[in-house]
Amino acid sequence: MKECHDSKWAGHPGIHRTLALIAEHYYWPHIGNDVEAYVKTCLVCQQDKIEQKKPAGLLQPLSIPERPWESLSIDFIVGLPVTDGFSSIMEVIDRISKYGTFIPASKVCPVEEAARLFLKHVVKYWGVPKMIISDQVTRFTRRFWKELFKLMGSSLNFSTSVHPQTYGQTERVNVLVETYFRHYVSATQLDWPKLLDIAQFSYNLQRSETTNQSPFEIVTGQQPLTPNAIMTGYKGPNPTAYQFAKEWQEQHEKARACLHKAEKRTKKWADQKRRDVNFKVGDLVLAKLSGILRNPYHKGLVRRYEGPFKVLKRVGTMAYRLELPPTIKAHPVFHVSLLKPYHLDKEELDRGKSHRVPVWVKVSYEKEVEAIHAERAVHRVGHRPRHEYLVQWKGLPESEGSWEPSEDYGNSEIR
């Protein structure tokens, strides 16, 4: 088996091809089982070959808020033509009603400006949220909340949380706003700030496929009057105050139920392309370290996995801490998608010892990983999508979490 699998002329083929090479000249009882076990426990194959399986780690959806304006997502559209000092749009989306607030902002939009705009356009009408979801980590940290409470004249200790993670709703709104501008912007494109208010009105008027209601209906209980409604002499319903309040509450409950259904459908669809992988403390695993190498070697010729390493503990729901040797000074916490189980040959233990040159990773790190909360794909024009993980650092609040590239995270220095 060693000759027909390990030798250079054989080239470490898979189970079926190794069996075919052996079966041309040899036979013994249970030959198929023996070949399968031999190939499965080959350390070189485990380290070098890419797994042809679904990505590990199931989708971790966000919790559904109890009421409107309790949980908001914030994002920025940047790179717009400079007009009256504005060149970006601050988007604030209520997660349950999908109500959008579009605010013109400067290119950089420092913390002080972001807090002032948030107070003027959001807090003034709807109050302070319990949670903000944003991948704009540099803008929405504890400094943002300190500045906001300072503007409100409050000395209370605040507990509003900031979750630095991606949220698909704001990404979809970005597309809608940009499309709206393409429809109505002038040739110079300098009038986009003048279109922002009517763009917000138009967006909040449209009924959501998820809730079958418009943001206006969920937030205010009714659709606003439009020029068309006035011209056609629309009277509208005239319910009693009690009936109005009852219907409004029913709309909120219906919106939450629809969101729950949509979240379950999204998770079910996403998990079809993923697989749930769990390791126990003490298990031996192989870790993908190909992204850490800081050398002139061609990445395509570098073995995909290193190890085996022992699992020390589970970190959060999607990561594990490994026992790494002194030569690998990388973060010992790895996302489950970077790991795969190691298969040990219990009859020939020497086959588990690598005879190839070990990887020397001279990388240092300062902060310790507490947990991995989410993952995302960052699409770049002309390049393949870059996968990133949301890392929470030990001893720091969630607001100090950061998105780290998958090729670096768990493998190299995270700054």
Measured distance CA(105)–CA(117) in Å, rounded = 8
Q: Which of 134-148, 199-213, 343-357 has the lowest mean pLDDT?
A: 134-148
Q: Which is nearest to 136 in space by CA: 206, 76, 189, 78?
A: 76
Structural contact between residues 374 and 164, judged by C-beta atoms closer than 8 angstroms = no
Each domain of the chain, given as residue ranges in start order, spans 2-48, 71-196, 227-273, 283-352, 369-405
Q: Which is nearest to 42 in space by CA: 76, 18, 72, 66?
A: 18
Of the two residues 196 and 387, the one the predictor is more confident about is: 196
Q: Which is nearest to 171 in space by CA: 140, 134, 144, 196?
A: 134
**Angle at the Cα of 306 (from 301 to 309), degrees rounded to 5?**
175
Whether the pLDDT of residue 364 is over 60: the answer is no
Q: Is the pTM of this model over 0.85?
A: no
Q: What is the pLDDT of residues 202-215, one digit of tens each?
A: 889 888 776 778 89
Q: At what angle are helices 31-40 and 15-23 packed, to 10 degrees?
A: 130
Measured distance CA(216)–CA(173) in Å, rounded = 16
Structural contact between residues 305 and 289, judged by C-beta atoms closer than 8 angstroms = yes
Q: What is the pLDDT of residues 295-304, one digit of tens each?
A: 555 555 567 7
Measured distance CA(346)–CA(335) in Å, rounded = 28
Q: What is the pLDDT of residues 58-113, one digit of tens each?
A: 555 567 788 888 888 888 888 888 999 999 999 999 988 889 999 999 987 888 89
Q: Does domain 71-196 fall into CATH 1.20.1300.10?
A: no
